[in-house]
Amino acid sequence: MSAMSSSSATKATTTEATLSARDGGYLRQAIDWSRTARERGNRPFGAVIVSAAGDLLAEAYCNTTETADCTGHAETNAVRLASPHVSREVLATSTLYSSGEPCVMCAGAIFWANIGRVVFGIDAVSLRTFRGELAVQRDAELSCRDVFAASPHPIECVGPALLAESRAPHVGFWQV
Protein backbone atom coordinates (compact mmCIF):
# COMPACT_ATOMS: atom_id res chain seq x y z
CA MET A 1 0.00 0.00 0.00
CA SER A 2 1.39 3.35 -0.96
CA ALA A 3 2.09 6.02 1.57
CA MET A 4 0.26 8.39 -0.78
CA SER A 5 -2.92 6.38 -0.89
CA SER A 6 -4.74 7.83 2.07
CA SER A 7 -3.58 11.41 1.76
CA SER A 8 -6.29 14.03 1.41
CA ALA A 9 -3.90 16.93 1.55
CA THR A 10 -4.55 19.79 -0.81
CA LYS A 11 -0.87 20.61 -1.04
CA ALA A 12 0.89 19.80 -4.24
CA THR A 13 3.14 16.82 -4.21
CA THR A 14 5.39 15.36 -6.82
CA THR A 15 6.42 12.41 -4.68
CA GLU A 16 5.75 9.39 -6.80
CA ALA A 17 3.69 6.54 -5.43
CA THR A 18 5.22 3.08 -5.76
CA LEU A 19 2.91 0.77 -7.69
CA SER A 20 2.47 -2.98 -7.72
CA ALA A 21 3.18 -4.74 -11.02
CA ARG A 22 -0.56 -5.06 -11.59
CA ASP A 23 -1.26 -1.36 -10.95
CA GLY A 24 1.72 -0.36 -13.08
CA GLY A 25 0.53 -2.49 -15.98
CA TYR A 26 -2.96 -1.00 -16.02
CA LEU A 27 -1.71 2.55 -15.55
CA ARG A 28 0.56 2.04 -18.56
CA GLN A 29 -2.52 0.89 -20.48
CA ALA A 30 -4.21 4.19 -19.58
CA ILE A 31 -1.08 6.07 -20.67
CA ASP A 32 -1.20 4.18 -23.99
CA TRP A 33 -4.72 5.54 -24.49
CA SER A 34 -3.46 9.06 -23.75
CA ARG A 35 -1.09 8.69 -26.71
CA THR A 36 -4.00 7.48 -28.85
CA ALA A 37 -6.00 10.54 -27.80
CA ARG A 38 -3.20 12.82 -28.90
CA GLU A 39 -2.70 10.98 -32.19
CA ARG A 40 -6.38 11.62 -32.91
CA GLY A 41 -6.05 15.34 -32.18
CA ASN A 42 -7.41 15.33 -28.64
CA ARG A 43 -5.86 16.28 -25.34
CA PRO A 44 -3.58 13.44 -24.22
CA PHE A 45 -5.55 11.63 -21.54
CA GLY A 46 -6.56 7.98 -21.20
CA ALA A 47 -8.32 5.83 -18.62
CA VAL A 48 -9.21 2.21 -17.96
CA ILE A 49 -11.46 0.60 -15.33
CA VAL A 50 -10.52 -2.83 -13.99
CA SER A 51 -12.53 -5.01 -11.60
CA ALA A 52 -11.06 -6.68 -8.54
CA ALA A 53 -11.27 -9.95 -10.47
CA GLY A 54 -9.11 -8.47 -13.22
CA ASP A 55 -11.85 -7.86 -15.82
CA LEU A 56 -11.22 -4.87 -18.07
CA LEU A 57 -14.54 -3.03 -17.71
CA ALA A 58 -13.82 0.05 -19.85
CA GLU A 59 -11.07 1.72 -21.86
CA ALA A 60 -11.38 5.30 -23.01
CA TYR A 61 -9.50 8.36 -24.13
CA CYS A 62 -10.23 12.06 -24.12
CA ASN A 63 -12.24 12.87 -27.27
CA THR A 64 -13.22 16.47 -26.66
CA THR A 65 -11.72 17.68 -29.93
CA GLU A 66 -13.22 14.90 -32.05
CA THR A 67 -16.69 15.29 -30.56
CA ALA A 68 -16.67 19.00 -29.64
CA ASP A 69 -18.09 17.78 -26.32
CA CYS A 70 -16.25 19.53 -23.50
CA THR A 71 -17.24 16.73 -21.09
CA GLY A 72 -15.51 14.03 -23.13
CA HIS A 73 -12.69 13.49 -20.66
CA ALA A 74 -11.12 10.03 -20.54
CA GLU A 75 -12.29 9.14 -17.03
CA THR A 76 -15.85 10.37 -17.58
CA ASN A 77 -15.96 8.51 -20.92
CA ALA A 78 -14.79 5.35 -19.16
CA VAL A 79 -17.46 5.76 -16.47
CA ARG A 80 -20.10 6.22 -19.18
CA LEU A 81 -18.97 2.97 -20.81
CA ALA A 82 -18.97 0.93 -17.61
CA SER A 83 -21.84 2.37 -15.59
CA PRO A 84 -24.77 1.07 -17.70
CA HIS A 85 -23.40 -2.48 -17.70
CA VAL A 86 -21.59 -2.97 -14.40
CA SER A 87 -23.23 -3.07 -10.97
CA ARG A 88 -22.37 -0.56 -8.26
CA GLU A 89 -21.22 -3.49 -6.14
CA VAL A 90 -18.62 -4.53 -8.72
CA LEU A 91 -17.55 -0.94 -9.30
CA ALA A 92 -17.07 -0.46 -5.55
CA THR A 93 -14.15 -2.88 -5.67
CA SER A 94 -12.89 -1.74 -9.09
CA THR A 95 -10.02 0.60 -9.86
CA LEU A 96 -10.02 3.43 -12.38
CA TYR A 97 -6.57 4.05 -13.81
CA SER A 98 -6.05 7.47 -15.33
CA SER A 99 -3.03 8.83 -17.15
CA GLY A 100 -3.60 12.17 -15.40
CA GLU A 101 -5.12 13.25 -12.10
CA PRO A 102 -8.91 13.38 -12.47
CA CYS A 103 -10.46 16.84 -12.71
CA VAL A 104 -13.39 17.94 -10.57
CA MET A 105 -15.95 16.69 -13.13
CA CYS A 106 -14.30 13.29 -13.50
CA ALA A 107 -13.86 12.93 -9.74
CA GLY A 108 -17.60 13.55 -9.50
CA ALA A 109 -18.31 10.91 -12.15
CA ILE A 110 -16.07 8.43 -10.29
CA PHE A 111 -18.00 9.20 -7.11
CA TRP A 112 -21.42 8.73 -8.75
CA ALA A 113 -20.28 5.45 -10.31
CA ASN A 114 -19.32 4.14 -6.86
CA ILE A 115 -15.80 3.30 -8.04
CA GLY A 116 -13.75 2.57 -4.95
CA ARG A 117 -10.19 3.20 -6.04
CA VAL A 118 -8.25 5.50 -8.36
CA VAL A 119 -4.65 5.30 -9.56
CA PHE A 120 -3.38 8.22 -11.60
CA GLY A 121 -0.20 9.20 -13.46
CA ILE A 122 0.74 12.84 -13.77
CA ASP A 123 -0.69 15.11 -11.06
CA ALA A 124 -2.77 18.21 -11.75
CA VAL A 125 -0.11 20.57 -10.44
CA SER A 126 2.50 19.20 -12.83
CA LEU A 127 -0.05 19.31 -15.65
CA ARG A 128 -0.50 23.04 -15.09
CA THR A 129 3.07 23.59 -16.19
CA PHE A 130 1.93 22.30 -19.59
CA ARG A 131 -1.49 23.96 -19.63
CA GLY A 132 -0.06 27.41 -19.03
CA GLU A 133 -2.33 30.40 -18.58
CA LEU A 134 -4.66 30.04 -21.58
CA ALA A 135 -8.20 30.29 -20.21
CA VAL A 136 -9.50 27.34 -22.24
CA GLN A 137 -6.73 25.12 -20.90
CA ARG A 138 -6.81 26.03 -17.22
CA ASP A 139 -8.49 23.59 -14.85
CA ALA A 140 -10.48 24.23 -11.68
CA GLU A 141 -7.86 24.00 -8.96
CA LEU A 142 -9.57 21.55 -6.65
CA SER A 143 -7.77 18.25 -6.06
CA CYS A 144 -9.64 15.03 -6.78
CA ARG A 145 -8.62 14.01 -3.27
CA ASP A 146 -10.72 16.84 -1.86
CA VAL A 147 -13.72 15.63 -3.89
CA PHE A 148 -13.17 12.05 -2.75
CA ALA A 149 -12.75 13.17 0.87
CA ALA A 150 -16.27 14.64 0.69
CA SER A 151 -17.72 11.27 -0.36
CA PRO A 152 -19.79 9.31 2.18
CA HIS A 153 -18.12 6.11 0.94
CA PRO A 154 -14.34 5.69 0.87
CA ILE A 155 -12.50 6.27 -2.42
CA GLU A 156 -8.84 5.32 -2.25
CA CYS A 157 -6.57 7.53 -4.34
CA VAL A 158 -3.01 6.61 -5.37
CA GLY A 159 -0.78 8.97 -7.27
CA PRO A 160 1.06 10.60 -8.85
CA ALA A 161 2.78 7.55 -10.32
CA LEU A 162 4.90 6.71 -13.36
CA LEU A 163 5.49 10.45 -13.74
CA ALA A 164 8.06 10.28 -16.52
CA GLU A 165 5.87 7.97 -18.60
CA SER A 166 2.61 9.81 -17.93
CA ARG A 167 4.03 13.26 -18.66
CA ALA A 168 5.71 12.28 -21.93
CA PRO A 169 2.54 12.48 -24.10
CA HIS A 170 2.06 16.08 -22.93
CA VAL A 171 5.46 17.31 -24.08
CA GLY A 172 4.96 19.63 -27.05
CA PHE A 173 1.19 19.24 -27.08
CA TRP A 174 -0.20 22.21 -25.19
CA GLN A 175 -0.27 25.71 -26.63
CA VAL A 176 1.28 28.24 -24.31
Q: Which is nearer to Zn ion, 19 or 78 (CB)?
A: 78
Buried-state track 132-146, b at ≥16 Cβ within 10 A, e below 16:
eeeeeeeeeeebbbe
Judged by beta carbon, residue 104 or residue 149, the one nearer Zn ion is 104
User: Exactly one of 38, 43, 73, 131 binds Zn ion (CB under 5 A); which one?
Assistant: 73
The residue among 139 and 156 lying less far from Zn ion, judged by its C-beta, is 139
User: Nearest distance from residue 21's CB to Zn ion, in Å?
Assistant: 27
Give the contacts of 14 (CB within 8 A, at least 6 positions apart): 123, 125, 126, 160, 163
Strands 46-50, 95-100: pairing is antiparallel
Distance of alpha carbon 94 from the chain centroid: 14
Residues 6+ apart with CB under 8 A from 88: 113, 114
# chain residues binding Zn ion, by CB under 5 A: 4
Q: Is 103 in the site for Zn ion (CB under 5 A)?
A: yes
Query: Considering beta carbons, is residue 1 or 150 the nearer one to Zn ion?
Result: 150
Question: Cis omega before residue 160 (within 30°)?
Answer: yes
Local structure of 146: helix, strand or coil: helix
Binding mask 144-163 for Zn ion (x = CB under 5 A): --------------------
Q: Per rule CB under 5 A, is residue 43 in the interface with Zn ion?
A: no
Rounded Cα–Cα distance for residues 24 and 109 (Å)? 23
Is residue 75 annotated as a catalytic residue, yes or no?
Answer: yes
Q: 48, 106, 110, 158: which one contacts Zn ion (CB under 5 A)?
A: 106
Q: Which of 59, 75, 89, 156 is catalytic?
A: 75
For residue 131, state whether it binds Zn ion (rule: CB under 5 A): no
Residues found near Zn ion in the complex (CB under 5 A): 73, 103, 105-106
Query: Known catalytic residues?
Result: 75
